[in-house]
Amino acid sequence: MCAKVGEDKDYSVVTGVELKKLFPDKKIIKATEMNLSANQERRKVEKKRLDWKVEGTPEEPTVVNGGVVDPMKLVVELAPMEIRTFVIEFDYLKTFAS
């Protein structure tokens, strides 16, 4: 993704947030992306989203920021000015077993 007019070319780039490094002492079982209010799964919301067909407009797929989170790597991609919400499940037996 390129920086838009008036944005810093070095800081206005997609970045990755490594959940394993964010929670180093916890074993992550699952990360589910939610809508911003965290009451519905993002994939279910996107299935229900209305898709308007407008005459004279080329049919190009809409660009959706932030790809699916790889369950092995657990890296969340964030674009500038993007907010994503996740529900993260931890394995508490492995977290607190020392």
Residue with tokens 């964010």: 22
Q: What is the DSSP letter of 21?
A: H
State pTM to two decimals. 0.72
What is the predicted pLDDT for the residue at 58?
77
Nearest residue to 5 via CA among 80, 58, 66, 55: 80
What is the predicted pLDDT for the residue at 92?
83
Query: How far is Cα 31 from Cα 90, in angstroms, rounded to an integer?
Result: 9
What is the predicted pLDDT for the residue at 22?
95
**Along the 98 residues of the chain, how does pLDDT read in single tens digits?**
555 677 788 888 889 999 999 999 999 999 999 999 999 999 898 888 777 788 887 776 665 667 788 889 999 999 888 999 999 999 987 766 65
Residue with tokens 């997609």: 14
